[in-house]
Every structure is written in C-alpha cells, then in structure tokens.
Amino acid sequence: MRPTLSLLPGLLALLALPAVAAEPTLDACLATLRPQALAQGVDGATWDTHTAGLVRDPGVLDSLDYQPEFRTAIWDYLAGLVDDQRVADGRAMLAEHADLLQQVQARHGVDPATVVAVWGVESDYGRTFGSKPLLGSLATLSCEGRRQAFFRGELFATLRLIASGDLSADGLVGSWAGAFGHTQFMPSTYARIAVDFDGDGRRDLVGSVPDALASTANYLRRAGWRPGQPWGHEVRLPDGFDASVNGRQSRRPLSHWVGRGVVRADGQPLAAADTPAALLLPAGREGPAFLVFKNYDAIYSYNAAESYALAIALLADRLRGGDGLQARWPTDDPGLSRAERRELQALLVARGHDIGAVDGMIGARSRAALAIEQARLGREADGRAGQAILAALRSEAAAPAETPPAETPPVDSLPVEPPPAR
Ligand code: CA
C-alpha cells in the first residue's frame, strides 16, 4: 500500500525510502515519456530500472528560473577560479599525469596546460562533480519548467550511456542542469565527444582520469583548436588608442593591431602576421586588455561565457609558469582567492553569523552576513566579498585591544552582550 505521499513528501524524502519517495506527478509524467524514450533508442529495461523511484527535485526548477541579481565582477570571478591554490594543484596534476598528458597531446593536439586548466575550472581536478542526483534532476527538468524538450534529450542520452556500459548509474551526480564528471559534459556532449583513452572499452568521464582528459582535448580539437598556437596574449594599448573596435567577434589581422601600436604586456614580440585576432576589454578601457586567436574561441565554446574562457586561458598560462596579469583590474577593492573567502567566512562565523559551511563559496547567507557587517562598519552594504571587508574584519579580530582603555567601562558594569547579528 502506498502512503498518502502528498501529505508527507518532505518527511519521506528525509527518510530516503526510494520505493515510495517519488512524487506521483513525476511517476505519471515519466510513464508518458517512456514511448518517446524507447523511440529514441533507450532500452525498455534500462528505462524501467533507472526511472523507478526517481525523486522530484524542485531545487533544479528554482535554478532554471534563477535570474542572478548579484552580478559577479570579472575580478571576483577570476580571483576565485585562478587562485594560487588552483595553480599549485594544477602544477601537481601536470607532474602526476605527465605521461598521460603527453599521449593526449600526441593524439588530440591540445597541450597539457590547457587540458589541465579546463579540468581545474570544471571540477577542481575531480574534487567537485556536483551535488544533485543526475537522473532525478534531468527527470524533473524533463517534466516541468521551460526547457523540457531539451532536458528529455539529455535524460535519454544519459540512459543510453548507462545501457551501453559507458556509465555506471551508481552515485551519479552532477550540476543542477545535468553537467557531470571530471569534465562536466552534458550527457549529449558526452555521447558525441567522449573517448575511451585507457582502453577498457568504456568511455568513463566519472571514473577514469585518462578518459576525461582525452575527452576534454577531443572537445577542444573538434571546436577548432589549432595545435601549437596560443589562445592569445595580454596586451598593452598605446595612449590615445581608439578601442571602439573590440569584442570576440570583431577580428582583424594581427598586423592591424600591431600597426596601431598594440604590444604584448610581457614585452615579448607580437608577430605582424595575418592571424585573425580580436581585442578583448573585459572591464573596459581601464582594465587588462587581450588579443585572442582561434584557440580562445575553442575554449569559449566549452561554456559560452567570456569570463569562463578567460579563467581557463589565464589558468593555463599560470600552469605554464606565467606570472599572471600585468595590468590591474579597475577597482580599489580586488576580489578574494578561495583561501581568503574561507578566512572571511571564518571571521563572519566568529562574529556569530550562521552562514553554513566555511567552504569558500560565498552564497546568499554569506552575502547577507557581509551586508550586516558592512553596514555596522559604515560601508556600502552590498554583500560583496572583497579585500576591503576582509581587511576590516581581520584587523578588528586581530586587535580587539585597540579600543582606548579610557573608554572601556569597568568590568562589572559591562552591558549584557547583545545577541550576535544573524
Ligand atoms: Ca575507458
């Protein structure tokens, strides 16, 4: 007998009873999708086995409709993704997998630093695959929300990968939208692009580092990667430079830029060749400038965002031993590394804020706590995690005795400590 699920969904989900925890609406929807799945090559037994007991996840629907009101500045985004920790970890990966990466380059034409940089940005070198049960997310998005047809295709692709033996369904987790594994491919991309590099007959981007790194290289190559060429360079623009022509789509021959006085920021020569090159000014004329080539477009195609492509390109340069950006971002309050974000969160916890885990991820609760502290300190209460608020809280915590003794009341007259801000 089935209990009345509508009364107890939260409790049942909490008890994690897979046989009874599915929402009736998801079961009913999946039943209607079964013929469509079979028509698209999903084996009936696979469908029945792996859609039984899936749990509706309303959280993924929230993510689908989330309009970010907190826009991340490029310097904040890069400070977290290209920090010393990710550079050190990436250099360790380059050493640990040197032979493998050389074989990947020989077969797919993409250099080790680029492959490892994608790995580091996508899953922190295999540490973070996502927190959502993959099939539950895709089933929910196939039955509700704005893009059901798209997500049904992804659900069916996942089940075909399971049926073919490439993927194991056990413990399969991903992002809310269904990207998963070392390379965070969507299932349909996985089906098209993944390669079996360790030779066990399975294309396994969850359990096999060789398969994952070779698949990343295969993706970039198919996106137009040109072996042996750079993604681009940080450049310096001459005084009075007309920067009205910029953006990834506005390509000009490299000689066009050289002729107008553009030079590499590191002082190396810039060949006056015909190579198509575009000028990027991610923070406008006052911030760092870049000339980017075809390989930048290949990286861009991985996730279709300038900030993302720049993070991978700049991390790859650091992994090759580069010093990082020469120009400064146009801000007097630069962004924080993940280590600094954890320090900031620990300072918030020490002041009594309940922000959840000190994990270096500045979420809604951390931002709310930051806004309270900023207001207390007479700063703009925008909830942003930057160097200024970190420095202020750090110096306060380090020097509580800075308060002039004369203003400190006798101990027995101290007021009762107010409840910590939350
Ligand atoms: Ca394999």
What is the DSSP code string of 228-251? T--SEEEEEPPTT----S-STT-E
CA of 201 to the centre of ligand 1 (A): 6
The one-letter code for the residue type at 331 is T
CA of 202 to the centre of ligand 1 (A): 4
CA of 200 to the centre of ligand 1 (A): 5
Digits of tens for pLDDT over the chain (422 positions)?
A: 443 334 444 444 444 444 455 455 899 999 999 999 999 999 999 999 999 999 999 999 988 887 665 678 999 999 999 999 999 999 999 999 999 999 999 999 999 999 999 999 999 999 999 999 999 999 999 999 999 999 999 999 999 999 999 999 999 999 999 999 999 999 999 999 999 999 999 999 999 999 999 999 999 999 999 999 999 999 999 999 999 999 999 999 999 999 999 999 999 989 778 999 999 999 999 999 999 999 999 999 988 889 999 999 999 999 999 999 999 999 999 999 999 999 999 999 999 999 999 999 999 999 999 999 999 999 999 999 999 999 999 999 998 655 444 444 444 434 444 444 33
- Check residue 25 and give its pLDDT: 83
CA of 165 to the centre of ligand 1 (A): 10
CA of 190 to the centre of ligand 1 (A): 13
Instruction: Please give the structure tokens belonging to residue 174.
Output: 């991903």
Alpha-carbon span 334 to 329, nearest angstrom? 8
CA of 312 to the centre of ligand 1 (A): 25
**Is there a contact between 270 and 233 (Cβ–Cβ < 8 Å)?**
yes
Domain ranges of the chain: 51-222, 232-292, 338-386
**CB proximity list for 181: less than 8 A, separation 6 or greater:** 123, 129, 174, 190, 205, 206, 212
Could you give the 3-state DSSP secondary structure of residue 147?
Answer: coil
Instruction: Please give the structure tokens belonging to residue 407.
Output: 């203003």
- Check residue 68 and give its pLDDT: 61
CA of 228 to the centre of ligand 1 (A): 27
Alpha-carbon span 319 to 91, nearest angstrom? 6
| Nearest partner of 211 among 161, 166, 156, judged by Cα | 166
CA of 164 to the centre of ligand 1 (A): 13
- Check residue 142 and give its pLDDT: 97
CA of 117 to the centre of ligand 1 (A): 21
Protein residues placing their CB within 5 Å of the ion ligand 1 = 196, 198, 200, 202, 204, 208, 211
CA of 29 to the centre of ligand 1 (A): 34
CA of 194 to the centre of ligand 1 (A): 10
- Check residue 24 and give its pLDDT: 59
pTM: 0.86
- Check residue 326 and give its pLDDT: 96
- Check residue 125 and give its pLDDT: 98
**Is there a contact between 60 and 140 (Cβ–Cβ < 8 Å)?**
yes
CA of 403 to the centre of ligand 1 (A): 63
